[in-house]
């Protein structure tokens, strides 16, 4: 293999590969990326066996070939180089020579045959949606995805296609986030569970359009020259519409930034294990407080639009704060019932068809 290509373009495609490769693994090749020179391109691939990412760069290919190279070290070398163009060459088996200006690196790799075969999702109807809108949807529910490996069916988000609606839903059992976007031409289809890691990597992409395909066991997401393929999560996702209470009759409207700042400040005096603050609602104001026998106490008032009975309940400041950070509106609406009922949060107005976060109360 011998290929010459632009260093900046190469580095741009190497960066997203770092999130896919496995750094701590008993299979050495999973910490490597596959480089394959074909035609007039250098193809690049990374996988952890659950999620794979492929891309390519324009290149002057003198001789076709392939090798796998340790992903992190290759990026460090390319990033540190000062030359505009670099040359990659294989002079001896599994050793990549990298030439950049007056610098010469010889990097030991692994055989191409050691690299796992990548899944292929070419069949099925392609769904095309604006990628910035989809990425925004992911950011609004990502915080609610469970990170507990024992609850594998909650280690991802439910992607649903409804009539002219695209929906993403995530829950970890303590809170639930749902966002919907209008998109004409969608037909109703059974929901599919997208793994957390796949959504995390998609958030790092840039592009105008997303092409989505569903296979029997895998999902494909194409943005520009990058294709991310992930294994579909198995399991049954909860009936999320039943989780969202329709009986919360106490409605509060409040400035989002003021609420977020107050929660963060009061939350400073909560314990690391027990993250809980008290939320007291009365006419015209919300009062947040925290008491910690080892640290002390905190209290702050926030003005709000509310007329009704007084109410007090415990909430996790991180759960409410993450929803507020994901919102892009000036005001939010909280719907409450009593100290044992969930807090349901919505943005006031906004671009989404529907965005809602359900937060379970904490007994204080």
- pLDDT score, position 26: 83
170 pLDDT above the threshold of 80: yes
Question: What domains sit in the chain, N to C, each tagged with a CATH number?
Answer: 2-114 (3.10.150.10), 127-241 (3.10.150.10), 244-359 (3.10.150.10)
139 pLDDT above the threshold of 90: yes
pLDDT, mean of residues 28-45: 96
- pLDDT score, position 184: 82
Provide the pLDDT confidence category of residue 190 given band limits of 50, 70 and 90.
Answer: confident
Provide the pLDDT confidence category of residue 163 given band limits of 50, 70 and 90.
Answer: confident
186 pLDDT above the threshold of 80: no
Range scoring the smallest mean pLDDT among 180-189, 228-237, 317-326: 180-189
The torsion defined by the Cα of 165, 126, 327 and 349, in degrees rounded to 10, comes to -30
Q: Detail the DSSP E strand segments found in 257-360.
A: 277-282, 285-292, 296-303, 311-315, 331-336, 343-347, 354-359
User: Exposed (0-12), middle (13-18) or buried (19+): which is 219, by Cβ within 10 Å?
Assistant: buried
Structural contact between residues 68 and 115, judged by C-beta atoms closer than 8 angstroms: yes
Provide the pLDDT confidence category of residue 88 given band limits of 50, 70 and 90.
Answer: very high
CA–CA gap between residue 338 and residue 335 (Å, rounded): 10
pLDDT, mean of residues 46-58: 96
Token duo for residue 355:
């965005």
- pLDDT score, position 278: 96
Q: What is the pLDDT of residues 147-158, one digit of tens each?
A: 887 778 899 999
pLDDT, mean of residues 278-304: 93
Residue with tokens 């999620």: 51
Token duo for residue 49:
């066996």
Tell which wins on pLDDT, 88 or 186.
88
97 pLDDT above the threshold of 90: yes
295 pLDDT above the threshold of 80: yes
Provide the pLDDT confidence category of residue 52 given band limits of 50, 70 and 90.
Answer: very high
323 pLDDT above the threshold of 90: yes
Provide the pLDDT confidence category of residue 66 given band limits of 50, 70 and 90.
Answer: very high
Nearest to 317 by CA among 252, 284, 283, 364: 364
23 pLDDT above the threshold of 90: no
CA–CA gap between residue 264 and residue 218 (Å, rounded): 40
DSSP 342: P
CA–CA gap between residue 332 and residue 204 (Å, rounded): 27
- pLDDT score, position 152: 80
Residue with tokens 């359009």: 209
pLDDT, mean of residues 250-258: 96
As a whole-number percent, the residues of the chain with pLDDT over 90 amount to 81
Residue with tokens 């909430």: 315
- pLDDT score, position 327: 94
DSSP 24: S
pLDDT, mean of residues 4-23: 94
340 pLDDT above the threshold of 80: yes
Q: What is the pLDDT of residues 194-239, one digit of tens each?
A: 999 999 999 999 999 999 999 989 999 999 999 999 999 998 898 9
- pLDDT score, position 235: 87
DSSP 77: H
Structural contact between residues 334 and 251, judged by C-beta atoms closer than 8 angstroms: yes
Nearest to 241 by CA among 188, 135, 143, 167: 167
DSSP 352: S
CA–CA gap between residue 39 and residue 61 (Å, rounded): 7
Provide the pLDDT confidence category of residue 117 given band limits of 50, 70 and 90.
Answer: very high
- Classify each residue of 91-107 as buried b or exposed e, where b means 16 or more C-beta atoms within 10 Å of its C-beta: eeeeebbbbbeeeebeb
Q: In a 3-state reduction of DSSP, which class is residue 232?
A: coil
- pLDDT score, position 309: 92
344 pLDDT above the threshold of 90: yes
pLDDT, mean of residues 14-41: 92
């Amino acid at each position: 293999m011998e290929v010459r290509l632009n260093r900046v373009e190469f580095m741009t495609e190497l960066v997203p590969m770092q999130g896919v490769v496995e750094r701590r693994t008993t299979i050495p090749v999973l910490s490597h990326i596959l480089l394959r020179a074909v035609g007039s391109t250098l193809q690049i691939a990374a996988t952890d066996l659950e999620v794979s990412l492929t891309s390519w760069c324009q290149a002057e290919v003198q001789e076709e070939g392939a090798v796998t190279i340790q992903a992190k070290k290759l990026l460090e070398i390319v990033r540190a180089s000062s030359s505009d163009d670099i040359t990659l060459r294989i002079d001896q088996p599994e050793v990549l020579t990298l030439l950049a200006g007056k610098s010469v690196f010889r990097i030991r790799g692994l055989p191409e045959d050691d690299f796992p075969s990548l899944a292929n999702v070419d069949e099925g109807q392609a769904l095309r949606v604006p990628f910035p809108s989809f990425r925004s949807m992911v950011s609004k529910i990502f915080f609610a995805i469970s990170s507990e490996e024992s609850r594998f069916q909650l280690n991802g988000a439910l992607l649903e296609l409804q009539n002219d609606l695209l929906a993403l839903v995530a829950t970890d059992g303590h809170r639930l986030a749902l966002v919907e976007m209008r998109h004409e031409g969608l037909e109703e289809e059974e929901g599919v569970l997208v793994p957390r890691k796949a959504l995390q990597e998609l958030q790092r992409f840039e592009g105008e359009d997303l092409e989505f395909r569903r296979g029997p066991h895998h999902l494909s997401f194409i943005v520009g020259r990058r294709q991310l393929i992930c294994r579909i999560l198995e399991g049954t996702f909860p009936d999320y519409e039943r989780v969202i209470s329709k009986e919360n009759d106490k409605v509060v409207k409040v400035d989002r930034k003021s609420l977020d700042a107050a929660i963060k400040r009061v939350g400073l005096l909560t314990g690391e294990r027990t993250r809980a603050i008290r939320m007291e609602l009365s006419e015209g104001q919300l009062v947040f407080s925290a008491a910690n026998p080892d640290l002390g106490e905190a209290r702050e008032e926030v003005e709000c639009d509310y007329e009704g009975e007084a109410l007090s309940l415990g909430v996790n400041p991180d759960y409410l704060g993450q929803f507020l950070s994901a919102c892009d509106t000036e005001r939010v609406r909280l719907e409450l019932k009593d100290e044992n009922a969930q807090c349901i949060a919505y943005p006031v107005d906004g671009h989404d068809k529907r965005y809602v976060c359900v937060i379970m109360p904490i007994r204080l």
